[in-house]
Every structure is written in C-alpha cells, then in structure tokens.
Chains A and B, each alone.
Chain A
C-alpha cells in the first residue's frame, strides 16, 4: 500500500470568541496519496477551505492529527511549519495574496530565495514565461488584472516544485473564461511537476477534473 502524502485522523477545528464557539470541522479522516489530484467540494461555510488550511499548516487543528509526508504538523512550531511549506508545499489562494510591494518576478522568486536557491530569479522568470507573463515580469500586482495576478500566484506556488500543491478556490474571483484558463494552467503545472494537488472548489465541473472528489457538508465528509 502507498504511504499517504497527507493523512488526517479525526481532525477537528473549533473557533470561538466571546460571542460563542463554532465547530468548523467535526472529525475528518482522510488520506491523499502521492500524485493524486483531489477535489474538495461543498457549500459555502462547510469547512473545506479550513480543512485545506490545516493541510498546509496555515492553521492548527484543535483535535486529531494532520500528517504531511509522514510529519505531524501539529507537533511543529510556526517556524518549522514555515520551513516545511518552503520545502514541500505550494499554496494558491482565491484572492491571489501577492505581496503588493513586490513585482511579479520578485513575488515568484521569493519562495526560491527563502529556500536558498541561487538561481531564484532565473527560475522565476522561466515560471512566469510558462504561465504567459514574460511581458509582466516587472509589474506590481496593482498594475495587473485579476487573471494575471492569479497566474503569478500559480507560478509562485509551482516554482519550488513542491510535492504538494494546495489550491483554495483559485478561480473564485475570476470570470468564467479567465477561470478556465487558470485551471488549465494549474493542472498543466501539476502534470509537469507531478505534484499532489488538493483543489478546493464549489464548482462541480472543476472538481470533476480531479482523480477523486471529496464532499464536505457541515464540517464532516459526506
């Protein structure tokens, strides 16, 4: 049996404040194998994006365990998690989350620089060329369209060749045509690098491009 790239056991997430506590995830068990593409679907507020954040170590589960490449993310501190993402993961967000004070090239080069790659800018240039943005290398995010920004975000996530690619509704802020182009690029990058892809989406037609679809309803796998 193949060792899972991601392994979630009874994962729970409860968020709360003075106004009360909300159970977001109520015991999720899930394995993702190497090279698999997994679609996470579900209605708004079902907990799918929260689950993706836990997989990326961007948030901590309040119960259960999240293991990535055999490492327990719950036992790592913030810096260990950051280094783990740097070495093994790429994340794409719905709102792109580019650093506004950096150009497209600098945004893509940043994770490579953090990893100590001496060819960071050359690789970043190639990655941007691969997503069709060779002419936008020195533009700031505010000077680009939403579709272009998301292509930069894709290039940034894929540039370090991560084993795991996490994408949180990457077309959520884009029109249909642009969104379709982005999805083509995302799957193209995944195919090229052989990464494991977990894609959060509420669009069934996008999920259907994945090897497997997992539906979440009210914090539980349906």
Chain B
C-alpha cells in the first residue's frame, strides 16, 4: 500500500508538471461555488455579530417590558423602577402630522428625558435630542424623518400639529439608535416628548399604542430582572425582550434569508459540479493513452486511481483555498452596500464558521462530482493502446464507488439540512435539483433523437445548413447532452429564483381584491364615530363604509391551560390580537354553532375564526381567557365563522357579545371604500374635524410593503448571480470541450467547399437549438420549483411569470450562441490542411 501511494505521488508530481491547463473550468467552478457560499455565510455572520454586539442599543435598553394600548399601572411602574438602574418609558403609535391642508401619516415615538438609554439619535442640524425636544418659544420640539419633511415641504423652525398638539420642527432625524425593534412601521418616524401630549386624546384609553419600559440593568442583571418581573407581569399582558436578542425580527430575517441564499449557493455548486465532472471526464479522456501505457508497464489499477485522485485532490485544495479567500473578501464590498438598507452596522472580520461550512460543501461536492469519472480510470486496460478507446463507456463504476457516491450525496443533503436550519426546504431543494438533473439528461437524449429525426427529413434537405446543424446535434458524439445539462441546470436555478422573485414582489398587490378599501381609519373615539359616518355617508365617491369597535387582547389561557401550551406557536396566541363585539354577524358567515341572541346579556360568548380554530385544535365549547387592558375575560366559544384575511377589509379572529366588552374602553376602526377622486377630501375633512384619528392610505401601505418585498427578492436574485456566472463558466467549458471536434468538422466542410459564414451559421443554429431546449426545460423545472416555494413556504398563490420564462429561454439561446461563437474563432480561422494532416 505504501509503495502504491509513493508511486502514485511520484506520478502525480510528473503529471502536474504539465500545468493546470485542463483544470481551468474545474477550478473556476469550484472557486465560484465555494466563494458564493462562504460570502453569504460571512455576510450573515457579520450582520449577526452586529446584532449581538448592538443588542442593547437596538433594543434601547438591557431589557424592555412592553404593554399594548396602555401604560404600566402604578404598581407595575413601581416594580419596574425598583428593578432597573435607570428606566425609560416611551410610547409608540401612528398619527397624522398636519401642516395647513397637508397631512401625512407618521409613526410617533413619544419619549421621556432618559431616552435613549444607549446610543444616540443623530440630528441635522446636529444637536442633542433633549435640546431639540425642548423646542423653542414655548412650543415643544419635534424631529422628523426627512421623508416627512420633504412630503410636507417643511423648513426647520416651522410649526406643525400632531393630533391637535402644536410642535416646532427642530431638526431632521438622521438616525435613531433603536429603530430595529419597532417592527414594520407604516409611516416615517417622528420623535417628540411624551409630556408634550398630556391633555391630548392621542394616548387616551382605547387608542392604539404600545408602551415600552426600557431598563438599564447592572451587569448580569437580565436573568435576575426577568425572574423578578415577568412572573408578576406576564399575566397582565406584559411582553419581555432583552439585549441578548435585541431585534428578533431582524435576526430571523437575516437567518432565514442567509439560509435560503446558502441553498441557492448550493444549487450554484451543483451547477458547477456538472462543469467539474465534465472537466475531469475530458481530462481523463485525454489521459487514456497514458493510463494504458502505465497499465502496460505494470501499474495496478490502485496506483492509477491514486495518481489521478491525488492530482485532483491537490487541485481541489487549491480551488477551495482560493474560493474561501474570495468568499472572505466579498463581504468587504457587500456589507457596506447591504448595511445601507439595514438599521444595523455589521462587524467585518474573518468568520471561520461560514468559511468552514463553505469548505465542507466544496469538499463534498468535489468528491461527489469527481469520484464517478475517476472510478472509470480503473476500466482502462493496456489493450486500449491498440484501440480507439476512451473513458466515455457507459459501464458503471465498481459498486464500491457507486456506494461512495450515494453516501457522499446523502451526507451533503444531511449537512445542508442541518446547517441551513431549514431541513424541509433543503431536502426539497435537493429533490428539485435531482429532478432537474434527471429531466435535463433525458432532454439531452430526446433532443438528439429529435434532431436526428429532423435532420433526416426530406423537408430539411432544401436547407442544407439547417440539415447539417440538426444532423450534427443528433449525430454520434454530439454535444447535446453536455450543453443541455450544463446550461439547463444553471438556467433552472435562475428560472426558479425569477418565479419566486416575481411572486414575492407581486404577492401583496395580486392578492388584494378588485375593490380594496382606500383607507383604514384607527383611533376613532366612541363620541366621534357618528360624525365620521355622517361625513362619509353623504360623500358620493364613497361606496362603502365598515366600522367596528376595536379592542386588543391577548389569549392567555385555553380551557384554563396556558394558551401557548395548547396552541403551540400559532400566530393567534403569539401576541395581542384585535377583537371586537357585535350583536349580529355582519359580513361573515357562521359555519358552526349558534350566534348569541341580539339582546344577550349572559356570560361572555365568543365567535372564533373557523380556519384558525381548526389550526389551533380548538372548537365549540372550548373556554378562552383573554387579557384585555390588564383584565381577564373568560368566555366559551359558541360559534365559528369564515374570516377571509386576504380581502384587505376588516377581519377579527375573535368577536364577543356586546355586553362582554362594551364597558371596556375602546375605539373604533373603519374601512372606507372610495373613488380615488374623493380620497383627498376625506383625508382633509376627517383630519380637520378629528385631529386624533389616523387615516392609513392602503395604496401607500401597499407601495411600502411591495418595496420591502422587492428588497428581499432582490437579495435572492443577487444571490443567484453566482449561479448564473457558474452556469456560464460551465457552458464555456462545454463549448471549449467541443472546440476540437468543431475545428475538425470545419476543416472537412471547408475542404468540401463550405464558406466560413455558412459554417458559422451552422454552428449558431446548433447552439440556438440546444440553448432553447435547455431554456424550455429550465423554465419548466424552475416553474415547478417556484410554485413549490411560493405555495408551500411563502403560502401564497402562484402566478407563472411568462415574461421571465421567455427571458430565461432567450437568455439560454443567447448564452449558448455567444459561447458557441467565442469558440468558433479557431475552427474558422485554422487552415484545413493543418487540422486534417494532424489527424493522419
């Protein structure tokens, strides 16, 4: 054994003296695949590290306790003050800023003097936030996001009102330290001092706001604070967050997107794997003579295998090292670009974890795609010296190698599933890739048969160039299989990403009903609702108004057991939910049970959304305890209703009988369906008459959400670019591999009288045929993958994006023709005699 290894090593060194010419495609594919995965992982780690180290800044404190629609009661406040070293209380809510007749929606942060506990707000002109909020000339100050300043045409020093309270604009808010925790805000940010709102109705009982109590704690005090506070406050509806996971939404987004992009990277590595395999096969084909000579000289097949295994192993190490180095460098360029659209600063350094992950994927992929062709070196016999033998035989390698390949593939799938944390998606990705791979192989065969059949038809004999192109595609030794596979797999990944991208971007606007409301109106006080209705009912542009009382509550118990224990992680029990009361079922259908009588005065009854009840495993007769503004209300589910949340109108999971809730402080919400022409007047009239209420333009909200979806889709598309580049490299490899055959063919055709233009056209037709075939299969495979991701992961309806599909097919044709043309130069320029005599 030792002798075999030593001998193989000596032979390896001699072979490598010839340089790495035959391995350029191999190295390019490996480097690109590994670099893409390493880069995605490194960017993800840099952002995660940024999140971790800035946890307290992003959260606004070491820990935060939040309430919905209420401030802490005196006893709760006392508890919080005792626990924290410093306590800062803020309120977060939506409101309207009014300047003359102009008004704009804003997300207001009403702060106290202690804000911010960590970090600082950057203002323009530069000044301390406290100074800005002090205001001037006896008026309180406010700072605004530049979007608001632009939209309202404001200058520093101008006066504006929030609700009915006047403020003076002191500065533009350039950045706030804790903006990653607020979640998705529908309006640009404004900051003002909460004390300035005292006496206004903006934060009165029943209006929609969140209160956050941020705490600065002594070192290591997070656990202690949690233990002291939450057992007493949780039942009151308090929510806890601490700096160890300061921005959980952001972290989840980064983790999910990172994992998804690693899977896209793995698809790129699979595309590269086709190139790797083809490059190794082509290299070993050329070495058949050398191997036969070595066999004739007495080399055992083990020595032969080891010789080429070592060669490829060394080059794999080179490829991995270069790929990892490139992957580690890419974040230096990418992170500043990404950080611009994120509220966190990433920490740029070397992260060994993602680099090791990329290396592991690279090793497994290289092994998987090289072992099969390498195993065929064992088949070469000394007698092949006397025959025109090549490694291209269709015999399978020894069972040992087949077993090894299957094992490596299984390991690769398992590693991807574990490391991505998205096991089902990883599994399905591999199944999808495998399906696309098999389909493309079969397509390659089918294209050959079809081209051969067409090439032999009498019809094509009238068009010799076309006839020759088709017979070349269909004839023996044609490149159909290699090109369709190498291009098709890359295009399939792109097509899938394209379909996902389109569905992600279009999911919001597409799922809206034909007639969506123009406005959501919140914070309508009970004494205002009739006036609001009067204004709208007399408006000829308004076709419909829906109003409902609105409270928020948290389902804390189901049948006296903690709700989260019973319903797991279902979204309905994860936070506070809107609930309403109604004497009659309006715009809904009771599908099970009985709605309460109109004048019902008995114990609380609940009507629950049917689909959500089914998902949570609850039904008629189950008892729910709901914490509303700190008070528990317990009632039985007596009916189930159909609620369609996709209709952009009002939808409440929970409705109760009026007498159960009517006494609780609450506001009203309304949806207004209006012609576009009437919207401006509604905004103005309602805003002027009721400064405290907030109108949210559905159109603006859709634009904003669509923009956010677009950013996520763009990230995925950028991630797929590595796959596109790899696919093109593989295609170039396939074109390069066919260059010799085409040079020979061109020499014969020239001898027979073909012009260079005719030969070029012949080559272009074949490229186009193969590119189109690869494109069509890619679109089909990508469409299926896109549908699966959209339907099962995004849980959205899928719409096939035809323009994208056509672009992929055209792109396939274009890429193949370009690659074919690039490698047509030598066949066309070489003199026939040189080529033909070299073959004598």
Chain A residues with a Cβ under 8 A of chain B: 49-50, 53, 56, 58-60, 78-79, 81-83, 85-87, 91, 93-95, 97-103, 106, 109-111, 113-115, 118, 120-121, 138, 140, 142, 156, 172
A14 → chain B, closest Cβ, in Å? 14
CA distance A106 to B839 in the complex (A): 22
Contacts of B138 in A (CB 8 A): none
A101→B840 contact, CB < 8 A? no
Check A60–B471 contact: CB distance below 8 A: no
* Contact in complex: A110, B468 (CB < 8 Å): yes
Contact between A78 and B750 (Cβ–Cβ < 8 Å)? yes
Is B478 within 8 A of A101, CB to CB?
Answer: yes
Tell me if A101 and B758 are in contact (CB < 8 A): no
Q: How far is the CB of B168 from chain A (nearest CB, A)?
A: 82
B10 adjacent to chain A (CB < 8 Å): no
Chain B residues contacting A94 (CB-CB under 8 Å) are 840
B8 is an interface residue with CB less than 8 A from chain A: no
The range of chain B's interface size is 35 or more
Contact call B758/A99, Cβ cutoff below 8 A: no
Closest to A49 in B: B837
A58 touches B472 (CB 8 A): no
Is B471 in contact with A102, judged by CB distance below 8 angstroms? yes
The 6 closest A-B pairs by CB, nearest first: A86-B753, A101-B475, A113-B464, A59-B833, A53-B833, A58-B833
Whether B826 is near chain A, meaning CB under 8 Å from some CB there, is no
A33 to chain B minimum Cβ distance, whole angstroms, is 24
Contact A59 B834 (CB under 8 A): yes
Complex alpha-carbon distance, A156 and B831, angstroms? 20
Contacts of B754 in A (CB 8 A): 82, 86, 114
The CA of A91 and the CA of B836, in the complex, are separated in Å by 12
Q: Please name all residues of chain A whose beta carbon is closer than 8 Å to the beta carbon of B400 when the two chains form the complex.
A: none
Chain A residues within an 8 Å CB radius of B753? 82-83, 85-87, 111, 114-115
**Are B831 and A59 touching (Cβ within 8 A)?**
yes
B461 engages A114 (CB within 8 Å): no
Interchain CA distance A121-B752 in the complex, whole Å: 16
Q: Can you list 12 pairs linking A and B with CB atoms under 8 Å apart? A: A58-B831, A87-B753, A94-B840, A97-B836, A99-B472, A100-B477, A101-B474, A101-B476, A102-B468, A121-B458, A121-B461, A142-B476
B222: shortest Cβ distance to chain A, in Å? 73
**Residue among A95, A101, A109, A111 with most chain B CB within 10 A:** A101
Distance of A110 Cα from B167 Cα, bound (Å): 88
How far is A103 from B23 in the complex, measured between Cα atoms in Å?
A: 34
- A97: B residues at CB distance < 8 A: 747-748, 751, 836, 839
- Whether B840 lies near A156 (C-beta < 8 A) is no
Q: A97-B751, A101-B477 are contacts. A58–B756 as well, Cβ < 8 Å?
A: no
**Complex-state Cα separation, A156 to B741, whole angstroms:** 20
Q: Which residues of B contact A82 (CB under 8 A)?
A: 750, 753-756
**Cα–Cα, bound, A138→B833 (Å):** 28
Give which listed residue, B474, B476, B749, contacts A100 with CB less than 8 A: B476
Q: Does B757 contact A (CB under 8 A)?
A: yes
User: What 0/1 readout, one digit per residue, does chain B (750-769) give for beta carbons within 8 Å of chain A?
Assistant: 11111111100000000000
Per the bound structure, the CA–CA distance linking A56 and B836 in Å amounts to: 13
B553 to chain A, nearest CB (A): 75
B623 within 8 Å of A (CB atoms) = no
In the bound complex, how far is the Cα of B752 from the Cα of A81, in angstroms?
Answer: 10
Q: Are B749 and A99 in contact (CB under 8 A)?
A: yes
B472, closest chain A residue (CB): A101
Given contacts A102-B468, A114-B464, is CB(A91)–CB(B475) below 8 Å?
A: no
Question: 16 other contacts beyond A78-B750, A100-B741, A101-B474, with CB at 8 A cut-off?
Answer: A49-B837, A58-B750, A58-B836, A85-B752, A87-B753, A97-B748, A101-B471, A103-B471, A110-B749, A113-B461, A114-B464, A114-B758, A121-B461, A140-B475, A142-B477, A172-B840
Tell me which of B747, B750, B752, B757 has the highest count of chain A C-beta atoms within 10 A of its own C-beta. Answer: B752
Q: Which residues B454-500 have CB closer than 8 A to chain A?
A: 455-456, 458, 461-462, 464, 467-468, 471-472, 474-478
Q: How far is the CA of A188 from the CA of B757 in the complex (A)?
A: 35
A118 and B752 alpha carbons, distance in the complex (Å): 17
Q: Is the CB of B476 within 8 A of A140?
A: yes
With A82-B750, A101-B475 in contact, is A110–B464 under 8 Å at CB? yes
CB nearest neighbor in B for A80: B755
* Residues from 794 to 840 in B contacting A, C-beta threshold 8 Å: 831-834, 836-837, 839-840
Report the Cα distance A49→B476, complex, angstroms: 30
Report how far A84 CA is from B750 CA in the complex, Å. 10
Docked complex Cα distance between A7 and B612 (Å): 95
The answer to whether residues A85 and B477 also contact, given A94-B840, A97-B839, A110-B464 and a CB cut-off of 8 A, is: no
Q: With an 8 A cutoff between CB atoms, is B745 at the interface?
A: yes
A94 CA to B837 CA, complexed, in Å: 9
Question: For A53, what are the chain B residues with a Cβ–Cβ distance below 8 Å?
Answer: 833, 837
Give complex CA distance A50, B831 in Å: 13
List residues of chain B with CB within 8 A of the CB of A49: 837, 840
**Cα of A188 to Cα of B178 in the assembled complex, Å:** 96
Contacts of A114 in B (CB 8 A): 464, 749, 752-754, 758
Give A91 to B751 CA distance when docked, in angstroms: 7
Cα–Cα distance between A99 and B472 once the two chains are bound (Å): 9
Chain B residues whose CB sits within 8 angstroms of the CB of A100 once the complex forms: 475-477, 741
In the complex, which residues of chain A have a beta carbon less than 8 angstroms from the beta carbon of B478? 101
CB pair B752 A110 closer than 8 Å: yes
In the complex, what residues of B have CB within 8 A of residue A93's CB?
A: 836, 840
With the chains together, A99 CA to B837 CA distance in Å? 15
Q: How far is the CA of A168 from the CA of B459 in the complex (A)?
A: 36
A113 contact from B467, B477, B837, Cβ within 8 A: B467
Least distance between B744 CB and chain A CB atoms (Å): 8
Kindly provide the distance from the CB of A137 to the nearest chain B CB, expressed in whole angstroms.
11
Residues in B426-474 with C-beta less than 8 Å from chain A: 455-456, 458, 461-462, 464, 467-468, 471-472, 474
Give the distance in Å from the alpha carbon of A56 to the alpha carbon of B748 in the complex: 13
Chain B proximity of A217: nearest CB distance (Å): 20
Complex Cα gap A149–B299 (Å): 36
Q: Pick the residue among B474, B755, B831 that contacts A60 (CB under 8 A).
A: B831
Contacts of B747 in A (CB 8 A): 97
B587 to chain A, nearest CB (A): 69
From B461, B834, B837, A120 is in contact (CB under 8 Å) with: B461
B residues near A83, Cβ cutoff 8 Å: 753, 755
Closest to B755 in A: A79
Q: Are B836 and A102 in contact (CB under 8 A)?
A: no
A106, B751: Cβ atoms closer than 8 Å: no
Q: Complex: how many Å from CA A79 to CA B760?
A: 12
The docked-state distance in angstroms from the alpha carbon of A58 to that of B834 is: 8
Chain B residue with Cβ nearest A54: B833
A78 cross-chain contacts in B, Cβ below 8 A: 750, 756
Q: In the assembled complex, which residues on chain B have CB atoms less than 8 Å from the CB atom of A50?
A: 833
Complex formed: what's the CA distance from A103 to B749 in Å? 15
The chain A residue sitting closest to B757, CB to CB, is: A79
A189 to chain B, nearest CB (A): 16
